[in-house]
Structure 1
């Protein structure tokens, strides 16, 4: 008997497992790597929606928890995967620049928007106007994070690299059973894979396919994250991640020529130097109709739980939401109504 089974090992899964480990709970994880969203994501964390210069949902609550969480996780794994980088927002017009100043003067945005503009000193970037600098931003090397965490789980005999078979799940009053394992609770953290989960696929997850390209640009020499109509994220060794696209119609992890062309067209309006495409990735983001997470208990079974629906803000939301779910299960502290799956309760 263990305290928890966790199904899925993206950002939600890692965040919940770490919360369990820190609280001395026993657990096992099932993960078949079928969901690629967390792995192929840009890894960017940024508290501001840069299209409208507004704060992301509850970002001021989530960011301190996330910062502390990843700092502690780096120490625990003895791996450096968190890189503090500023985001420079390219302005398309003077009007946009003025909107930035208005936003930077708002109380909630002051800690994140620098009122001093940055001039473009990179000859390889096409920028007629100045840049706005976003603070408290950076990027995670998500592949390194997941691989390092999975390696630790394997050493501890906590990881099963199998596809979870829902038909084998036995639900009892005080526990759940799966193969020869029993647990007090099971938490599903499967991202878009939730759509195959018979216990939770009634929830209104839309899903949004995102595609990235990775380019090599030897002349670019940019060390900050640039945001125009796309993000340009430096990876080191003259490599940059470029993205992302949003497609609600396609529900797969396959790369497309259409998305590649969209990204290169936008990139060509930003770069004034040569580049070559060296990789192309796709994944399904677990997006929800009302743009809020899906967290909570199954309406019928008391020991089945869900932690999902973080969309494109998983890096900042995951540690905060994992903590909230843990406190709900262990201490009966109510979940925030905005993310509780009870908001979609069926009659």
Structure 2
């Protein structure tokens, strides 16, 4: 029987963040991951402290960024790989009214650090932006595909990875430990994304999967080194490639790409992009979203050694480091969870 402090199920952004808490605190662990959940892999990976549709602050943006920036820098050192790309994020204005709303938002104390007071004039001959752009400060992108691929390789090299599905029915729960296959662990943490719907211990939680699709386009004439947010976002990937997205579908719960999503995104793109482009890739995944737009973090009501960390939604890059620290401190030191993320908020 192999004994560890933790079993972690799932190795997307949530699972990686919690594993890093364990590593930092010298806790032993094993990870089960079968690559079945794709929300982290299809994520654009942007960290952006402003909700650009309404010019409002992202929940706990300042604290999340304070934790996220050093978190990803440490991961770059661990993995010997570049994953954090800081670049400008410009919000395209569609009218004078939107410019005025931007300046009004700047008066809010929580938004002031993140909004530039200068209207950025459009200098690209292939972008239609007669009203210019607003610049979001402290934004950037994490290359989630590179992060997850390299973190799984790291775990495998350390013999900490079990690359197979986790069978919930085979889990044996005891008073002070859990037992699975030939492994005994003091605690286990489920970071399964939308796969939580099949988890008998936590599937009663209100996880509403939202399907998202993202395109990769090739646009040799575009030549920008900053991200643009309009009705869709454009994020530079290098070599004349750009990510474009994303869609929101609350009905379809498959990871299959659709022609409808492709048409929706290309039609929106053509509104302001006035050069030829070619779609070279399309991916889809189910975002683990929650009705109150807050994560799901906590411990099972009947089993004190089984925990969950889920519901990162569309902003997992920023949220994961924060909630992993919250859950670790809760499990190890009994520090109360932030009530806004505690799963007990849904107790009847």
State the partner residue of 1:197. 199
State the partner residue of 1:250. 252
Alignment of 1:160-175 (within 5 A): 160-175=162-177
State the partner residue of 1:177. 179
Matched, 1:34 2:36: yes
State the partner residue of 1:301. 303
Cα distance in 1 for residues equivalent to 2:45 and 2:251? 23
State the partner residue of 2:51. 49
Matched, 1:140 2:104: no
Q: Which of 306, 313, 316 is the equivalent residue of 1:314? A: 316
Q: Shift of the alpha carbon at 1:75? A: 1.1
Alignment of 1:209-228 (within 5 A): 209-228=211-230
Q: Which of 146, 152, 158 is the equivalent residue of 1:150? A: 152
Cα distance in 2 for residues equivalent to 1:233 and 1:191? 24
Cα distance in 2 for residues equivalent to 1:177 and 1:77? 31
State the partner residue of 2:338. 336
Cα distance in 1 for residues equivalent to 2:216 and 2:158? 34
Which aligned runs of 4 or more in structure 1 are off by greater than 3 angstroms?
none
Q: Shift of the alpha carbon at 1:73? A: 1.0
Cα distance in 1 for residues equivalent to 2:58 and 2:262? 27
CA deviation string 1:115-158 (max 9, x = no partner)? 01100001111112110000110111111101111111001100
Tell me the TM-score normalized by structure 2.
Answer: 0.99
Task: Note the aligned Cα RMSD (angstroms).
Answer: 0.6
State the partner residue of 1:238. 240
State the partner residue of 1:16. 18
Cα distance in 2 for residues equivalent to 1:80 and 1:279? 22
Cα distance in 1 for residues equivalent to 2:132 and 2:99? 8
Q: Shift of the alpha carbon at 1:252? A: 1.0
Q: Shift of the alpha carbon at 1:61? A: 1.2
State the partner residue of 2:328. 326
CA deviation string 1:293-312 (max 9, x = no partner)? 00000011010000000100
Cα distance in 1 for residues equivalent to 2:157 and 2:258? 38
Matched, 1:273 2:279: no
Cα distance in 1 for residues equivalent to 2:191 and 2:240? 34
Cα distance in 2 for residues equivalent to 1:314 and 1:340? 17
Cα distance in 2 for residues equivalent to 1:216 and 1:185? 46
Q: Secondary structure at the match of 2:115?
A: coil
Q: Shift of the alpha carbon at 1:105? A: 2.2
Q: Secondary structure at the match of 1:60?
A: helix
State the partner residue of 1:259. 261
Cα distance in 1 for residues equivalent to 2:87 and 2:285? 24
State the partner residue of 1:286. 288
Cα distance in 2 for residues equivalent to 1:276 and 1:52? 31
Q: Secondary structure at the match of 2:53?
A: coil
Structure 1, unmatched stretches of 5+, are none
Q: Secondary structure at the match of 1:210?
A: strand
Tell me the TM-score normalized by structure 1.
Answer: 0.99
Q: Secondary structure at the match of 2:125?
A: coil
Q: Secondary structure at the match of 1:286?
A: strand
Q: Shift of the alpha carbon at 1:6? A: 0.1
Cα distance in 2 for residues equivalent to 1:42 and 1:189? 19
